Amino acid sequence: MATWRFVHAADLHLDSPFVGLRNYREKLAQDLTEATFTAFQRIVDLCLENAAEFLLLAGDLFDGPGRSLRAQLRLRRELERLAAAGIETFIVHGNHDHLGGKSVTLNWPEGVHVFPAAQVEMAEVRRGGATLARIYGLSHSGPAEPDNLARKFPVAKRGPFAIGLLHANLDRNGEHENYAPCAMSDLASSGYDYWALGHIHRPGIRRETQPAVVYAGNPQGRHLKEAGPRGCYLVEVDGHLARARFHPTGVIGWEEAVQDVSALENIDQVLQALEGTLEEQRPSPPQQGLILRLSLQGRGPAHRELQLPGTVDEILEQVREIGESREPWVWVERLDAATAPAWDLAALSQGTDLVATLLGQLAAARQSPEIPPEFEKLLTPLYYHQLARRYLPQVESLDRPCLLEEVAADLLSLLLPEED
Ligand SMILES: [Mn+2]
Q: Across residues 244-267, what is the average pLDDT?
A: 95
176 or 237, which is more confident?
237
Residue ending a domain, among 224, 248, 272, is: 248
Residue 420 is predicted with a pLDDT of 45
Rounded Cα gap, residues 154 and 160, in angstroms: 15
Distance of CA 204 from the midpoint of ligand 1 (Å): 15
In a domain, 264, yes or no: yes
Distance of CA 40 from the midpoint of ligand 1 (Å): 14
In a domain, 388, yes or no: yes
pLDDT tens by residue, 358-378? 888 888 887 877 777 887 788
Query: Read out DSSP for 169-203?
Result: EET--TTS---SEE-HHHHHTT--SEEEEES--S-
Residue ending a domain, among 290, 313, 340, is: 340
Number of other residues whose CB lies within 10 A of the CB of residue 144: 11
Distance of CA 217 from the midpoint of ligand 1 (Å): 8
pLDDT tens by residue, 199-251? 999 999 999 999 999 999 999 999 999 999 999 999 999 999 999 999 999 99
Q: Across residues 145-165, what is the average pLDDT?
A: 93
Distance of CA 342 from the midpoint of ligand 1 (Å): 46
DSSP state of 209: S
Co-location of 221 and 93 in the same domain:
yes
Distance of CA 356 from the midpoint of ligand 1 (Å): 56
CA 28 and chain centroid, separation: 20
Q: CB-based contacts of 401: which residues, under 8 Å, 6+ apart?
A: 366
Distance of CA 63 from the midpoint of ligand 1 (Å): 8
Residue 415 has pLDDT above 70, yes or no: yes
β-pair partners for 268: none
Q: Across residues 12-32, what is the average pLDDT?
A: 83
Distance of CA 227 from the midpoint of ligand 1 (Å): 15
Co-location of 157 and 284 in the same domain:
no
In a domain, 410, yes or no: yes
| Segments forming the whole domain that contains residue 322 | 252-340
Note the pTM of the prediction, 2 decimals: 0.82
Co-location of 325 and 396 in the same domain:
no
Co-location of 195 and 269 in the same domain:
no
The angle that helices 26-49 and 69-84 make with each other, rounded to 10 degrees, is 20
Summary mean pLDDT of the chain: 91
Co-location of 13 and 134 in the same domain:
yes
Co-location of 335 and 353 in the same domain:
no
Sign of the torsion formed by the C-alpha atoms of 282, 283, 289 and 290: negative
Q: Tell me the percentage of the chain whose pLDDT exceeds 90.
A: 65
Residue 58 is predicted with a pLDDT of 98
Distance of CA 193 from the midpoint of ligand 1 (Å): 24
By the CB criterion, residues less than 5 angstroms from ion ligand 1 are 11, 60
Q: Across residues 134-160, what is the average pLDDT?
A: 93
Distance of CA 415 from the midpoint of ligand 1 (Å): 48
Residue 371 is predicted with a pLDDT of 74
In a domain, 278, yes or no: yes
Distance of CA 81 from the midpoint of ligand 1 (Å): 24
Residue 366 is predicted with a pLDDT of 79
Phi, psi of 298 (to 5 degrees): 115, 165
pLDDT tens by residue, 59-105? 999 987 778 888 999 999 999 999 999 999 999 999 998 888 777 77
Q: Across residues 41-67, what is the average pLDDT?
A: 94
DSSP state of 127: E
Distance of CA 117 from the midpoint of ligand 1 (Å): 17
Co-location of 205 and 260 in the same domain:
no
Distance of CA 13 from the midpoint of ligand 1 (Å): 7
Our count of domains for the chain comes to: 3
Number of other residues whose CB lies within 10 A of the CB of residue 380: 11
Nearest-10 Cα torsion for 410, 411, 415, 417: -20
Please calculate the CA angle 397-402-405 and round it to the nearest 5 degrees.
145
Distance of CA 198 from the midpoint of ligand 1 (Å): 7
294 or 413, which is more confident?
294
Co-location of 164 and 195 in the same domain:
yes
Contact 319, 267 (CB under 8 A): no
In a domain, 420, yes or no: no
Residue 116 is predicted with a pLDDT of 94
Co-location of 300 and 350 in the same domain:
no
Co-location of 29 and 119 in the same domain:
yes
In a domain, 352, yes or no: yes
CATH number of the domain that 196 lies in? 3.60.21.10
Co-location of 208 and 70 in the same domain:
yes
Distance of CA 73 from the midpoint of ligand 1 (Å): 20
Using 50, 70 and 90 to split pLDDT, how confident is the model at 418? low
Co-location of 315 and 383 in the same domain:
no
Q: For residue 213, give the nearest of 238, 235, 239 by alpha carbon.
A: 235
Distance of CA 225 from the midpoint of ligand 1 (Å): 13
Residue ending a domain, among 220, 248, 276, is: 248
Rounded Cα gap, residues 405 and 414, in angstroms: 14
